[in-house]
């Protein structure tokens, strides 16, 4: 499997880690072993420094520019062939003096060199990043790919949750072997408490939420074998390739003498999502976002509707295929697919990022506790939708984190100029301005209300929050909240605010 690099800009920590390495010439992989790989770049049987430099430069460029393996190979293979480092050749082992038939460059070796160095650099950068936020996200979960290529031992560790400072990570932090694609996910206490949806053993077909719990670290069993070339006894944990039984050195810092100082100041970005079709959109949403909902995600439907997106708040989401000309050609289905496809690859357009915010709006509906009441829509519904849209515009970066640690590019523009419920949002912002209340002063309380209070009871709760924050009369604020659906000019709504 070719790794697509998780960046559309140079990943600072990963680039620094790779560029900090010096060079080490070795005939066999044993010549540069274990933690020495953290400080030296080596390729077995690359006995000429110019060859080693060419390979290193290719890997460096791949990491910094986000190249695929095919791009890496197409640029490097012709160069190595011109220099004679390709195929099989007789070479003298400097340790034993024996002449041996050695395998030099091959497509398989280039793939291993590429994937191992890219994954090691990426995971070293991710390790440094997770350590920086370990106070807020102290729980680490082992994450294996779980396909036909995953090692059985690595699959057995999938889902294992330990604290970030558990000694187990010092030997088992990925990658744990050549071509290993495992990773680690950090979680907060809140995410641990919310857990995941599992089958209800008492009600077939139903789901219940099961909190995550910290696991007991598996015992580390060491195995030994003698290397036939060196006679050296090699000891490593079972399930981990020799030389991979170490976490990135926590004391590691870039060496200015070994790396290029002009590293772009872009933050790390994870692997792009594999999205090309609507089926991929459904898969990613279910895989990445099901765990944050209250009722799970059961069904996602694409059809032409007059609403951008809609949900029954119990697991079913509809995404419109209609193009809305009055919203700069916004098409929820098309823009959402392109957004998920382009994350980590290229900058999103406003409409693409707004499609993600619209999805978060529906996900937040799924997170709201509520009791169904028959009857027509009224002011309570207006307040509920306004609150959900107002919060979603400001918190959709949280969804980008769940999708894999991506960052918003149009947050301010979407906060102030999103399409959905724009009139109601404009009136609510006018109310906040009249009260002298800043967004940041109430966002945490309003977000908590959204997740804990029956959504048809927001009116009284929100009036209380605003009254407490502003020192104004709650009854008058509630009167204004009842008129949020006013469709006149902003000045007309402002006149309704009266003495508030």
The domain segmentation of the chain, as residue ranges, is 1-132, 133-251, 272-366, 368-500
Low-confidence stretches of the chain (pLDDT beneath 50): 1-11, 14-15, 17-51, 94, 250-269, 374-375, 489
Q: What is the pLDDT of residue 333?
A: 97
Could you tell me which of 313, 456, 458 has the C-alpha nearest to residue 375? Answer: 456
pLDDT at position 64 is 66
pLDDT value of position 267: 34
- What are the phi and psi torsion angles at 198 (to 5°)? -135, 165
**422 Cβ contact list (under 8 Å, min separation 6):** none
Residue 353 burial (CB count, 10 A): 24
* 289 and 426 Cβ atoms separated by less than 8 Å: no
Percent of the chain scoring above 90 in pLDDT: 37
Question: Closest Cα partner for 119 from 6, 22, 30?
Answer: 6
């Amino acid at each position: 499997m070719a790794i697509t690099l998780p960046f559309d800009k140079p990943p600072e920590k990963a680039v620094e880690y790779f560029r900090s390495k010096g060079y080490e010439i070795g005939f066999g992989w044993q010549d540069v072993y274990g933690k020495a790989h953290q400080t030296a770049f080596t390729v077995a049987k690359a006995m000429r420094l110019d060859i080693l430099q060419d390979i290193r430069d290719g890997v460096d460029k791949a990491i910094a520019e986000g190249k695929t393996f095919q791009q890496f190979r197409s640029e490097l293979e012709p160069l190595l062939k011109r220099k004679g480092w390709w195929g099989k050749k007789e070479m003298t082992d400097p340790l034993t003096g024996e002449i041996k038939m050695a395998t030099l460059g091959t497509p398989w070796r280039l793939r291993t060199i590429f994937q191992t160095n890219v994954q090691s650099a990426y995971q070293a950068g991710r390790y440094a990043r997770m350590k920086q936020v370990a106070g807020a996200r102290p729980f680490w979960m082992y994450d294996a790919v779980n396909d036909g290529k995953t090692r059985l031992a690595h699959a057995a560790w999938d889902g294992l949750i330990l604290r970030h400072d558990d000694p187990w990570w010092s030997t088992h932090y990925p990658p744990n072997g050549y071509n290993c694609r495992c990773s680690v996910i950090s979680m907060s206490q809140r995410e641990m408490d919310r857990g995941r949806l599992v089958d209800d053993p008492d009600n077939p077909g139903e789901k219940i939420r099961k909190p995550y719990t910290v696991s007991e670290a598996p015992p580390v069993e060491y195995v030994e074998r003698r290397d036939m070339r060196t006679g050296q006894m090699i000891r490593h944990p079972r399930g981990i390739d020799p030389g991979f039984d170490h976490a990135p050195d926590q004391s590691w810092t870039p060496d200015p003498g070994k790396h290029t100082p002009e590293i772009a100041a872009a933050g790390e970005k994870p692997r792009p999502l594999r999205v090309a079709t609507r089926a991929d959109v459904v898969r990613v949403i279910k895989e990445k976002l099901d765990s944050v909902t209250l009722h799970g995600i059961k069904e996602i439907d694409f059809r032409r509707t007059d609403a951008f997106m809609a949900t029954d708040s119990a697991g079913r989401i509809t995404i419109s295929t209609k193009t809305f000309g009055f919203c700069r050609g916004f098409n929820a289905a098309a823009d959402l697919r392109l957004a998920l496809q382009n994350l980590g690859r290229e900058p999103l357009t406003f409409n693409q990022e707004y499609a993600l915010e619209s999805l978060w709006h529906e996900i937040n509906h799924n997170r709201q506790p509520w009791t169904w009441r028959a009857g027509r829509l009224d002011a309570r519904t207006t307040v509920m939708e306004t609150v959900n849209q107002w919060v979603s515009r400001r918190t959709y970066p949280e969804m980008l984190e769940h999708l894999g640690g991506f960052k918003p590019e149009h947050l301010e523009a979407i906060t102030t100029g999103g399409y959905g419920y724009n009139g109601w949002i404009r009136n609510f912002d006018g109310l906040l301005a009249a009260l002298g209340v800043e967004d940041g002063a109430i966002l945490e309380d309003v977000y908590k209300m959204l997740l804990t209070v029956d959504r048809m009871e927001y009116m009284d709760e929100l009036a209380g929050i605003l009254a407490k924050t502003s020192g104004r009369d709650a009854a008058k604020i509630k009167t204004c909240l009842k008129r949020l659906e006013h469709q006149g000019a902003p000045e007309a709504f402002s006149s309704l605010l009266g003495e508030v």
